[in-house]
A and B are shown apart, each in its own frame.
Chain A
Amino acid sequence: MFGRLAATRLPEIRQIFRQAPPQTSRSFSTALNYHIDTPDNNSELPWEFSNANKDKVKEILSHYPSNYKQSAVIPLLDLAQQQHGGWLPVSAMNAVAKVIGVAPIRVYEVATFYSMFNRQPVGKYHLLVCGTTPCMIRGSREIEDALLKHLGVKRNEVTKDGLFSVGEMECMGCCVNAPMITVADYSNGSEGYTYNYFEDVTPKRVVEIVEALRKGEKPPHGTQNPNRIRCGPEGGNTTLHGEPKPPPCRDLDAC
């Protein structure tokens, strides 16, 4: 009897077993959401904005009404991150909290929310590979693999010389030139800070970029495909050759 019942309901039973595939772990986009004291990252360490940046802090604060100083939290965290070589120790967040006059936890909330605030040390050149669908389809995984293999590190790990680290970022709006990587350059502090997109990259090209950066050169950013001009199609325009026609109703007298 059970056999017959099982036979009639076989598809259902199969379905149930199919629904429980072996699963390992679920990965999350963000790093740890809590702080662990280390020698180079604890609240005891003194941290201050540099003198040049103190003027910038004033300038940033001047953008906001004096009773809404806390609105400056994101630009100030960004400035602090540039000054501190690309990452935010907890004492830097405390310093920002002091400047804008809020409780430190309000700054931690912001810093943990945004994935562009690094709370762990990164390399002088922080390479961010776009991992969102268009770039993934166009081969961002190979690009990341090439970078990791070339540098001999894992994701979010810094190379021994402290020059490079590779991270993943979600869509940075360059899908038309996918795949792309971003190079956040913290080698010159907040004065020389750049955040450049390298688009249309190939596993070979990213390694070349890395090597150029290692030599201190500044490879041209933007599309790496010599046949493309910015985000135009390869080999020049295929459409829209002439001046576009004005909309018919623009000339009101003609209508």
Chain B
Amino acid sequence: MGLGVLASRATRLSGRGNPSRSLFYVRTIVTKPELQSPEASSAAAAPEPTPDLPPRTPLGGARVHFPNPDDAIEVFVDGYPVKIPKGMTVLQACEVAGVDIPRFCYHNRLSIAGNCRMCLVEVEKSPKPVASCAMPALPGMKIKTDTPIAKKAREGVMEFLLMNHPLDCPICDQGGECDLQDQSMAFGSDRGRFTEVKRSVVDKNLGPLVKTVMTRCIQCTRCVRFATEIAGVQDLGMLGRGSGEEIGTYVEKLMTSELSGNVIDICPVGALTSKPFAFKARNWELKGTETIDVTDAVGSNIRIDSRGPEVMRILPRLNEDINEEWISDKTRFFYDGLKRQRLNDPMIRGADGRFKVVSWRDALAVVAEVLHQAKAKEVVGVAGKLSDAESMMALKDFLNRMGTNNVWCEGNGPNPNADLRSGYIMNTGISGLEKADTFLLVGTQPRVEAAMVNARIRKTVRATNAKVGYIGPPTDFNYDHQHLGTGPETLLQIAEGRHPFCSEISNAKNPAIIVGAGVFEREDKDAIFAAVDTIVKKYGNVVRPDWNGFNVLLLNAAQAAALDLGLVPESSESIETAKFVYLMGADDINLDKIPNDAFVVYQGHHGDRSVYRANVILPASAFSEKEGTYENTEGCPQQTLPAVPTVGDARDDWKIIRALSEVAGVRLPYDTVSGIRSRIRTVAPNLLSLEEREQATFAASLKPEVKQKISSTPFKAAVENFYMTDPITRASKIMAQCSALLAKK
């Protein structure tokens, strides 16, 4: 201890450079005597018997998972011993020990490149600094992360990286959340020695979502690895060599991946930034709200960044079980739809066919009046694909009190089967798909229906060479697959054991069957599910006590909760004879089926398709403006939180229905969200255990006998245009650009 203090004093004294030296040259970089001879200073600091180091916590939730307890090894990070499993890298060991190593190219979900050299650390008995991201930790390794060697190495690497990096932080959209900016503040020198001309690189056109300023690129190749490994579109590459090296596509090509927006997040500098967000805001001005995405049934965890009443951008949140740390382009960029085509006042269509703005009191009175005139069985309610569980509960309760049970959620088909929960959710779970080794996709194109589920399947296929069989219309996959057929007869062949793919299923350890929710709309859906059940029964390995490989991939955020809450219509033809139709955000139902003399109430947030048919419009708030429960396709309920205020006079969906019930004289017994949730507890208690998946018990034997015949109509694509599936995305300009440029012809 005394020695160390002495040594540091000595170095400090000699470190005060003599004044005469500064006359002769400008010191361009800080160098200290202890940096000149690092061995001496490390020798001086050698006696390090510090027995009581402060306990350290692993960084960023770094978890240590020991697959085999015998494989644990012990390494020392700055003298602090950590136990890690064999095969971990030095950088991961440092993370477990709570030491943050600066890095640019290393990303824990991508392969290791080791080309930025920022993660250099000193390892005892190693002659040179070691790139910690690529070096496996060995037993007893003594890693030093804060020695002069490590510091000097980082400073040198940073100087090289900044050599060709433009000094345009004030006009760079990454400013404030830039890895290079942060790390050059923390580890860089305050001056550089590079006096040549900086290089410049031609910007690439990657499409309407990703803006490129390639001169800022530091060649970490994260985007190349992301495109190749996770997005599965091999478009990006590293071209050229040496200082002429650049990222590009060589032949001009747009990045046609549904996950391309994620390269914005992984780019450590401002080379790839969001085009719609360009020059709109600085990240420190934004308020982040942790919420849930509703554009598909995955329920990706997102953060809505807002400034005042405006949603500025959407970023992913980490959720290992659902979306890892990626989100689809639709989720990331549809937010501008929240600003367009909004309904902000209650309106009634006058005799001239034009809408007139009225007060809430008048609008509700008119609706209640018409509702009382209609016969109970002529009243129909349809919940839209973006509805939350609370409002669907209120809608169902309200219409039940009016004496009808003709209420359903769009997308679930005319005759949904809500009796067995295992029959409509993804029983394996999204993260559970990683354990599967054979997939049978029936009438589903996960790439457009649920991009994050597709990313999971791709991850599994890449990691374990899992087999994928696909029944449905020809579509593009970003992994190897066998196209077994286009229609249900192929499914029958598998069920009867007449198909070569049968052996794949029977030999598989964990087969997973995924049925698309597009099947719900088919006439013969019961027969198709019966055929799938036959496959499940035939091959005992699909559903076992420890593995449930029967999955339904839903399309919309509202579907699972609607089925949990029992939004099942009494008769499947009710809409054809309806006199009063209550559309709660339902825009994708067939409006031609509604009789001409029916009175249509549209309650929703966007002036989309149904508004053209509506007689009364009740403005509601969008998912970004309310607190609501959504259950995703794997049966995991999650809550959205209000990020921005509502538009105009809009109200939460459930509040409108609650108010309407009072005007109609059938007052619903709840006036708070917690009240409505207690009501949900009596119907579907699983919807209240947030972020916990409640497993559904699978009981194929409980299913009734199906007498339906399978038709030979081939499966149809459930999603025509990935970028436009719901009222918000249809109102979005960015999504329109994407559909025009990126959607496959």
Interface set of A (CB-CB < 8 Å, partner B): 8-9, 11-12, 15-16, 19-20, 23, 25-26, 28-30, 33-35, 43, 90, 102-106, 108-109, 112-115
Contacts and interface: CB of A to CB of B under 8 A. Distances in A.
- Which 10 residue pairs across A and B have the least CB separation, nearest first? A103-B234, A108-B250, A105-B237, A28-B244, A33-B240, A33-B239, A112-B239, A109-B237, A30-B244, A113-B241
A75 to B, nearest CB: 19
Interface in B215-260: 234-246, 248-252
Contacts of B240: 28, 30, 33, 112-113
Contacts of B235: 103, 105
A104 B234 CA distance: 8
Given A35-B250, A103-B234, A108 B239 contact: yes
A9 to B, nearest CB: 7
B234 A33 contact: no
23 contacts: A12-B25, A15-B25, A19-B195, A20-B195, A23-B196, A23-B197, A26-B197, A26-B199, A28-B199, A29-B244, A33-B248, A34-B204, A34-B251, A105-B234, A105-B250, A106-B234, A108-B237, A108-B239, A109-B238, A109-B239, A112-B239, A112-B241, A112-B250
User: Could you say which of B22, B202, B243, B250 has the most chain A C-beta atoms within 10 Å of its C-beta?
Assistant: B250
Nearest to B249: A105
A64 to B, nearest CB: 20
Nearest to B240: A33
A171 to B, nearest CB: 15
Given A15-B26, A33-B244, 4 more contacts: A9-B23, A20-B195, A105-B236, A108-B250
Nearest to B248: A34
B23 A12 contact: yes
A115 B237 CA distance: 17
Contacts of B204: 34
Interface in B249-289: 249-252
A90 B251 CA distance: 8
A interface secondary structure, majority: loop
Contacts of B196: 23, 26
Contacts of A112: 239-241, 250
A26 B198 CA distance: 8
Contacts of B245: 33
User: Could you say which of B234, B238, B243, B251 has the most chain A C-beta atoms within 10 Å of its C-beta?
Assistant: B251
B612 interface: no
Contacts, number: 83
Interface in B416-454: none
Contact of A28 (B22, B202, B242): B242
Given A30-B244, A105-B237, A112-B241, A11 B24 contact: yes
B241 A34 contact: no
Given A29-B244, A112-B250, A16 B26 contact: yes
Contacts of A26: 196-197, 199, 243
A189 B557 CA distance: 62
B19 to A, nearest CB: 11
Contacts of B252: 34-35
Contacts of B22: 12
Nearest to A102: B234
Nearest to B236: A105
A42 B264 CA distance: 30
B350 to A, nearest CB: 57
Contacts of B248: 33-34
A28 B242 CA distance: 9
Nearest to B24: A11
Contacts of A25: 197
A15 B22 CA distance: 12
Contacts of A102: 234
B197 A30 contact: no
B455 to A, nearest CB: 18
A8 B195 CA distance: 25
Contacts of B234: 102-103, 105-106
A30 B235 CA distance: 21
A117 to B, nearest CB: 11
B598 to A, nearest CB: 54
B250 A34 contact: yes
Contacts of A23: 196-197
B140 to A, nearest CB: 36
Interface string B169-198: 000000000000000000000000001110
Nearest to B250: A108
A34 B203 CA distance: 11
A33 B23 CA distance: 46
A178 to B, nearest CB: 23
A115 B240 CA distance: 9
Nearest to B23: A11
A28 B251 contact: no
A155 to B, nearest CB: 16
B64 to A, nearest CB: 34
Contacts of B244: 28-30, 33
Contacts of A104: 250-251
B710 to A, nearest CB: 38
Contacts of A8: 23
Given A16-B26, A20-B195, A35 B242 contact: no
A29 B197 contact: no
Contacts of A115: 241
Interface string B1-39: 000000000000000000000111110000000000000
B236 to A, nearest CB: 7
Contacts of B246: 33
Contacts of B238: 109
Contacts of A109: 237-239
A20 B242 CA distance: 24
A96 to B, nearest CB: 13
Contacts of A43: 251
B465 to A, nearest CB: 12
B242 A29 contact: yes
Nearest to A94: B251
Nearest to A114: B241
Contacts of A30: 240-242, 244
